Each structure stands twice: as structure tokens, then as C-alpha cells.
Amino acid sequence: MTWDPTPPEQPPVDGGRFDPPADPHAPTLAPPPAPAPSTGPPPPANPAWPGAAQPTNVSVPPVPPRPTPLPAPYGTHGTYASPPPMPPAPPAAPGWAPGAPTPPPNYSAPVAVRPRHTGLKVMGATVFALALVGSGFGVRALTEDQTASTIIRNPTPVATVPSVAIDPNAEPLAAVAASLSPSVVQIEVTNGLGSGVAYDGQGHILTNAHVVGEDRTVTVRTADGRAVEGRVLGTDTGTDIAVVQISGVSIPAVPLAESPPIVGQTAVALGSPFGLDQTVTAGIVSAVNRPVDNDKGVVVNMIQTDASINPGNSGGALVNKNGQLIGINTAIFSQSGENNGIGFAIPVKTARAVADKIVNGQSTAKAGLGLTGPPETPSGDAGAYVESLTAGGAAEAGGIEAGDVIVSVDGTAVRSFEQLRGVISAYGPGQTVTVEVVRDGTRQSVQVTLGTLNLASPPTTTR
């Protein structure tokens, strides 16, 4: 039970005097002096306050009930006793609204609001469609900008915390945070900020393309507070991956997971939500192979997680309980711009393949099958229905026919046409895949050498 130290407000009568119900435990006071006799007619009765005059044109609420008796130590034998005085509320820190969480310590600088970054808008406008089990909803990119929230800035390096021995068996998440925090950085661009993660030990930082935007140099802030210049090697807007090169500082690479994530496993997010660097949150993998479409005509099958990620987490790490990178945090489902427990990360296999091409100066063009189809199969069964084929395209050359239902690619199950697009986008042109189709009720496999996906706005790679 909660206790409100403020007594219920009573309606004023007789010129503002309050007449609350009598308290049997209140001290006895002398009665007030009797009012002067009046020669006029008596005032009308007030049913809510017997004996008091009824104000004119004022709606008087009923008398509030007595507070419920409080248990000890606030009450004795079921009676209402005065609680101990409450300490005065501390003054609100600048930049923190009343009722907001207590601000972090050592943030003595005034709150700074970053200007809006036009390149950090929601993918595909304010929101972009996410095809998901036949329905669509909006997802939002996670870069911090003025439209997202206030950024709290710390002008000094984070205070060094004494190292303690952590038993990974007793505290696996604490062990993950301690071992991987040095690998996660904050990336500051002209008009915003995001996160990044060192992935190869050679000064290459993996992040999102929407984090760096059009910038060719960025500021990379390490876990110990140092700020170094980073050069953007390239971006792939199709999969929303970018690589930043730094030098003169050594950052350990995060281990990469070899096995794909599974639903229900632990997921830990590390990054800089709202500019609060070195923030660690945890949850689980909520779903895998969730198709997310962007405004570049590319679908990426992403990891869905309920680990809390917010604006500023973009480009940060999503890892498992063994401290292995499983994805790059990229977007959330949100109508407010903040976390609702549904976030999305680019699988590390997809992110690493694109990053390696950027580092090596190779094309990041996406593979294409050369076919079209509806969101669902005509029968309602799982799979991707082939409605038409591009003449001379990869699917036609590989033996796929109109009317086929594609159910898997290289052993990865396909449940919808959008999911098929996401599976194929993880490959490069010229690669050969095994496509399993259902034709006239019979399953059969065909080998398809993938072509190039034609995009209205192709990905860019800059060296």
C-alpha cells in the first residue's frame, strides 16, 4: 500500500475556509467565534457540507472518504497516525524534466541538442513498410538526432572503474559486458551520433550506413573516452552497413558467432542510446529471418530482439551470452521513436560479408533471381509463389517455372516472398544456390546462378 503525504484537497466554502470531517485523534481546539447575526433569509443548505452556505454557480464535489488506516509504523492498532516527515525533493538537474530518471553522475556540462541529421531519418521516410506475416508496420532507424531526443554529453572520459573478478558462470551478462565494452565505440558525425564495433582487430569499425550518412570523416570515441578521427571506407545502403577505419589506437575485435542465432537465446545490446555511451541492455532473440524492406528495394532478413535499443544504438553490437557478435543493431518497431521491445539487428553473417567487400574495394551489388510473386501463395501454404519470370534471368536459366512455390534456398526455409528476397540479398551476383521448389505437388531441387538485382538507387561504395 502506498501513502500520499498530501491530505485530500477540500472545496473552499465561507470565503475560502476549509471544514474537513472531524478527526477523533486530532487535538481539541477552541471553537471559532460565532458569526454575526444576519437579518436576511437563511442561505440554502449545502448537501455536501451541512451547515455551510451553498456557493452560487459552483459545483461542489462530494466529501472525499477518510484515508484507509495504515499499518505500522504509520498506524497503531488500526488508527491513522501522522507519518514521519518526508525529506524535501532535490532540485531538478538542468535538462531533465520533472519525473525523469535521475541523471547519470559526472555529467556537469549543459545538455546539448544535436542538430537534425537529414540522413538519419526513418528508413523510407518517417516509417517504412515491414512485411511481416501478411501485415505491415513502421520501423525506425536508431541514430540519435534532434527529432529523437536530447543528447546527454560528457566532456570528460568516463571514470575508470576498478576491475573485479567476474565469474561467468554466476554472472554471464556481467562477464559479457566487461569483455566486450572495449570493442564498442561511439561514432559522432556532423549532425548526430551512433555506435560501432571493432570486428577484425585492424582498426576497422563496423556500423550502419545511416549512421555515417554522407560524412567521409567521423569522430570515434573509445570506451576509455579518447576521441580519434575515423575515415569512412565505404557504405552499402542496401544492407545499411558501413566501415570506418581508425589508426593510432588499438581496439580489441569482438569475436564473431559462427552459428546462427536461435529464438529464445540470450541477446545483449551494447551501444550509445541517447548519447549515453557504454550502455548495456539484455533480452532474448525474439525471432530470426524477419524480413525488413528499406527504401532501396532491398530486403534484409534480420534478427528480432526485445533487448532495449533506442536512438543512438544504431551500429552497435548485439551479442550472445558467450560474448560473440550475432548482429548489428539497426532499427526498431516504433510509433513514438523509442523502444517498444521490438528491435532489429542485421545478422553478423550478412554484415561481415558486406564489410569485407567494402574493405577490399569490391562491389556490394545484391544478387537477384529475376522473378516476381505475391506476398502469399494462392493456396495459403508457406513458401514464395513464382508469378512471372524475367526473360533470360537467373531463375529462368536455372529451370524455375511460373507456378512453382519456392520453399528453401541452400537449406534455409522460405515461408513468404519477402523472406525469399531477404535470403537472396545475402548472396552476391554470380554465386550458385540450390533452390527447392514444389511443382505440381512434388518437391524438386534446381541449381541457380544468381544475377544482379536492379535497384532504383544502387548502394554506394567509397574508398
C-alpha cell at 62: 462530494
- Of 333, 138, 312, 347, give the one whose Cα is nearest residue 241: 347
Residue type at 103 in one-letter notation: P
Backbone angles phi, psi at 267, to 5 degrees: -130, 130
- Of 139, 182, 150, 195, give the one whose Cα is nearest residue 314: 195
Active site residue 210: yes
Q: Contact at 8 Å (CB) between 461 and 360?
A: no
Distance CA 309, CA 152 (A): 16
C-alpha cell at 194: 551512433
Distance CA 185, CA 112 (A): 20
Distance CA 294, CA 210 (A): 12
Annotated catalytic residue within 145, 215, 236, 240: 240
Distance CA 441, CA 243 (A): 46
Annotated catalytic residue within 272, 286, 314, 334: 314
Active site residue 314: yes
Distance CA 421, CA 384 (A): 9
Q: Does the bond joining 55 to the residue before it have cis omega, within 30 degrees of 0?
A: no
Annotated catalytic residue within 145, 149, 210, 272: 210
Which residues are tagged catalytic? 210, 240, 314
